[in-house]
Amino acid sequence: MTTAMGAALRRIQLGNALSAFGNGFTVPFLFVYVSQVRGLGASTAGIVLATFAMAALLVLPFIGRVIDRRGPLPVAVAGTVSAAVGSMGLGLADSQELVVAAAAALGAGIAVIQPSLATMIVWCSTTATRSRAFAMQFFLNNLGLGVGGLLGGQLVDTSNAGSFVRLFAIEAVMFLVLGATVATVRLPRVPKVEDAIPTDESAKGGWRALVADRAMVQLLVLGFVMFFACYGQFESGLAAFAVEVTRISPATLGMALAANTAAIVLAQFLMLKLVERRRRSRVIAVVGLIWTVAWLAAGVSGLIPGAHTLATTLLISTYALFGLGESMLSPTMAPLVADLAPPRLVGQYNSAFALVKQLALAAGPAAGGMMAGAGMYTAYIVLLVVCSLGITVLALRLGRRLTPAQENPLRHTVVQRRVPADRDDRDLVAA
C-alpha cells in the first residue's frame, strides 16, 4: 500500500468506527423508545423496524449503479446526511407518521453508506491487503456498537424522553462526523483496481453482467442462507427460544449477546492470521460446520431443563460460536465479492450483496418469529441446522468456480512473485 492509500483507508476506518459507536447508542433501545417512551405502541414499533428493511430494499437495487457512475465518495456523503436527518428525526418525532418517515430516511441512509464504504475500501486496498482491511472494518464496527451500547445504557431513562433525544442526537452527530471524514478522503489517483472509475457507458448493464456471473450468483445464494441462519435469528427466533425453551432471563440473554461481541473482538485478528492464507471456500465451509454445532448446542440447551446452569452455558456458547464464525467471515466474504467484480462494477456487486443481506435480515426474523409464535421450536432448530450444513455444501460448490487468485489471493501473489526468481535460478544453473 502507498502512503496515500494507507492514509485514505485510515480515515475511512476511523469514520466507520465513530458511526458504529453512535449507532450503538440507539439500536438496543429503539423498540422500547417507540412503543413505550413515545407511547405509540408495539405495533408502531414493529412498523418502524419493518420500515428500515423496506427503505433499504427500495434503495439498494439502484445505488450500485450510482456508485459505479459517480464514485463512492459523494454517494457515501449523501447517505450520511440522510442517516443523520433520520436519526435526529426519530429523536424528535412524537407521532406515528413522523417516526415512520424518520425511520425511512435513516434506513435508506444506512443502506447507501454500506456499499459505498465497501467500495472505498476496495479502492484503497490491494488484493493482498483487502482481507485485513475488511477484518478491521468488522472489528471496529462491533467494538463501536458494543461501547456505544454500554454508554447508551448508562444515559437512557425510560421515564424521560429527553434522554432518548440525547441518544439520537449523538447518533446523528456521529453520522455527520462520518460524512465529514469521508469527504476529506483523497482516493488514489490510480486505484489498485484497474479502470475502477468507470464511464457512464461502461456502468450500463450492471445487473445483466452480474446475473450472468455464475460464481457471483452462487455467492449471493450462499450469502442469503448465511445471513438467514445467523444474523436474521438473533432478535427473533433464537431470542424467543432462549427465553421460552431454555428459560433464561432477559439479563442472561444480554450476557449471551455480549459473549457474541466479545468473541468477535477477541478472536478477530487471530482468525485473520488463520484464514488469510487458506482457500476462502474452505473457510466458509468450516463456518457452516461451526454454526451447525452452535445450533445443536442451542437445541440441547432446551432439552435439559433440570440442569439450568448447563443449559445456560450451552446457550451462551451458541452466541459465542456465532461470533467465532463471524470473525472468520469478515476477512473472507466482502473481499471475495470485490475480487469477483469486474473493475467497472465494484459498486454494483457490493450493492447486490448488501441487498441479499437485507432480504435475509427481513426473511430471517419473519420466519423465526412465526415458528416461535407457533411453538415449533424443534422444527426451528432442525431448519437452522439444515441451513448451516447447507452453507458448507454451497461453499464447497462455489469453490469449484473460483480461480486460484480468487480463492487465495495472498498465496497466489506470493507464488507469482517467486516464479520469476525460480526461473532465474534455473537459468543460472543451466548456464
> Counting Cβ atoms within 10 Å, is residue 208 exposed (0-12), middle (13-18) or buried (19+)?
exposed
Q: Which SS3 state, helix, strand or coil, does residue 196 take?
A: coil
Separation in Å, CA 92 to CA 13, 44, 184, 248: 30, 16, 30, 35
pLDDT tens figures, 120-176: 998 888 887 888 889 898 898 888 888 887 788 788 787 888 888 999 999 999 999
Phi, psi of 186 (to 5 degrees): -105, 100
Q: Which residues lie closer than 8 Å to 41 by C-beta, 6 or more apart?
A: 35
pLDDT tens figures, 329-340: 999 998 999 899
Dihedral of the alpha carbons of 50, 352, 391, 409, in degrees to the nearest 10: -140
Report the run of H or E that residue 59 belongs to, with start and end. helix 41-70
pLDDT in the model for residue 379: 92
pLDDT in the model for residue 157: 81
> Counting Cβ atoms within 10 Å, is residue 316 exposed (0-12), middle (13-18) or buried (19+)?
buried
Name residues of the chain where pLDDT drops below 50.
1-2, 190-203, 415, 417, 419-431
Percent helix, strand, coil in the chain, to 5, is 80, 0, 20
Cα gap 191→201, rounded to integer Å? 19
Cα gap 241→192, rounded to integer Å? 47
pLDDT in the model for residue 191: 44
pLDDT in the model for residue 4: 55
Q: Which three cell numbers stand for residue 400?
A: 469449484
pLDDT in the model for residue 199: 44
pTM above 0.85, yes or no: no
Q: How many CB atoms lie within 10 A of CB 199?
A: 11
Phi, psi of 245 (to 5 degrees): -105, -55
